């Protein structure tokens, strides 16, 4: 098998037929010496996606699928795909045609030039809200600034990777997946191509703000300890300030007798200290919740059916 294409699916009934046509239209002329396969992962869709995929699989032996028992999330769906690929090269692509299948030959060409990862970087994004573009932009830059590994900015999971990379990914059993970060962590020779990200072809985004926030926190906690260190540093800074103010308070009370019934300062310091403490505890909590998820060692996903 030369090429495996992983396609996570969450309520994509409007896009599956067109996606399949366009993928075949691109992959057939590539004249790969071997063959290729599609692996659809139905991530608990509530529409007719599963039926569409099953029909494709019945018609076309290159189509395989996995049906999850419920919605486990995009990153887990991709992971299930990675667990099942057999190709020497593996493409990860969104189902909504925001990642143009027409870019695959160019990505694959780069891979054959001796790279292990060729990712597709968004030059522009169409049809997405200003808020989504802004939060994504800020997130990638924040992450890049607080982590030691170089995670490319403005890059999703659309990419082609070699078998070596897939094998490395499969050795990383972490529960809270941030696959684009894991691939950067793995290393090897990586390169990128730029593209203009189209509008979603049909249907609606499956990434709610809640899911995006979770992905962002998964990425940050998995690839940076800076937030924890910031909690420590802010603790020291605030304690230092508090100590100075304490000395002044004692001095005013005992020697200068120049003190007021200090309601304002009292409120301010209590509120400020309370805020810093809660934020710090919250940051620690984010790490601990992920620690405990990994300690529980549940399977990453439950399969209801596969073919």
Q: Which residues bind Mg ion (CB under 5 A)?
A: 96, 98
* Contact (Cβ atoms closer than 8 angstroms) between residue 5 and residue 91: yes
**Measured from the CB atom, is 91 or 231 closer to ligand UDP?**
91
- Site size for ligand UDP, by CB under 6 A? 17
**Measured from the CB atom, is 115 or 301 closer to ligand UDP?**
301
Q: Indicate which single residue of 36, 66, 73, 107 sits in contact with ligand UDP (rule: CB under 6 A).
A: 73
- To Mg ion, the closest distance from the beta carbon of 83 in angstroms equals 23
* Contact (Cβ atoms closer than 8 angstroms) between residue 213 and residue 115: no
8 binds, among ligand UDP, Mg ion, none (CB under 5 to 8 A by kind): ligand UDP
Any contact of residue 218 with ligand UDP (CB under 6 A)?
Answer: no
> What does the per-residue mask of binding to ligand UDP show for 85-104, with x meaning CB under 6 A?
---------xxx-x------
* Whole-number CA gyration radius for the chain: 25
179 binds, among ligand UDP, Mg ion, none (CB under 5 to 8 A by kind): none
* Contact (Cβ atoms closer than 8 angstroms) between residue 96 and residue 8: no
- Torsions phi, psi of 15, nearest 5? -110, -20
* Contact (Cβ atoms closer than 8 angstroms) between residue 257 and residue 251: no
* Footprint of ligand UDP on 120-159 (CB under 6 A): none
Burial class (CB in 10 A: 0-12, 13-18, 19+), 99: buried
The residue assigned the tokens 């909690």 is 231
* Footprint of ligand UDP on 13-72 (CB under 6 A): 43, 71
Q: At what angle do helices 209-223 and 179-186 cross, to 10 degrees?
A: 20
- To Mg ion, the closest distance from the beta carbon of 96 in angstroms equals 4
Q: 3-state DSSP call for residue 189? A: coil
- To Mg ion, the closest distance from the beta carbon of 283 in angstroms equals 30
């Amino acid at each position: 098998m030369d090429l495996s294409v992983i396609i996570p699916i969450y309520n994509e009934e409007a896009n599956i037929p067109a996606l399949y046509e366009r993928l075949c239209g691109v992959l057939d002329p590539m004249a790969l010496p071997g063959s290729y396969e599609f692996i659809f992962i139905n991530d608990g869709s509530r529409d007719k996606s599963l039926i569409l995929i099953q029909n494709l699989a019945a018609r076309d032996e290159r189509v395989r699928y996995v049906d999850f028992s419920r919605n486990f999330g995009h990153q887990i769906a991709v992971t299930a795909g990675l667990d099942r690929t057999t190709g020497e090269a593996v493409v990860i692509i969104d189902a909504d045609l925001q990642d143009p299948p027409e870019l695959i030959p160019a990505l694959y060409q780069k891979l054959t030039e001796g790279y292990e990862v060729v990712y597709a970087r968004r030059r522009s994004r169409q049809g997405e809200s200003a808020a989504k573009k802004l939060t994504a932009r800020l997130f990638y830059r924040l992450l890049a600034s607080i982590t030691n590994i170089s995670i490319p900015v403005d890059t999703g999971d659309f990419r082609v990777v070699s078998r070596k990379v897939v094998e490395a990914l499969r050795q990383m059993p972490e529960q809270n997946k941030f696959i684009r970060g894991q691939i950067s962590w793995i290393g090897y020779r990586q390169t990128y191509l730029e593209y203009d990200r189209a509008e979603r072809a049909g249907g609606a985004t499956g990434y709610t703000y809640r899911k995006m926030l979770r992905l962002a926190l998964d990425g940050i906690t998995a690839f940076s300890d800076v937030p924890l260190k910031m909690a420590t540093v802010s603790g020291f800074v605030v304690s230092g300030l508090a100590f100075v103010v304490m000395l002044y308070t004692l001095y005013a009370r005992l020697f200068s007798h120049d003190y007021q019934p200090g309601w304002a300062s009292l409120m301010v310091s209590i509120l400020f200290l309370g805020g810093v403490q809660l934020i710090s505890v919250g940051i620690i909590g984010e790490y601990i919740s992920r620690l405990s998820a990994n300690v529980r060692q549940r399977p990453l996903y439950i399969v209801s059916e596969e073919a």
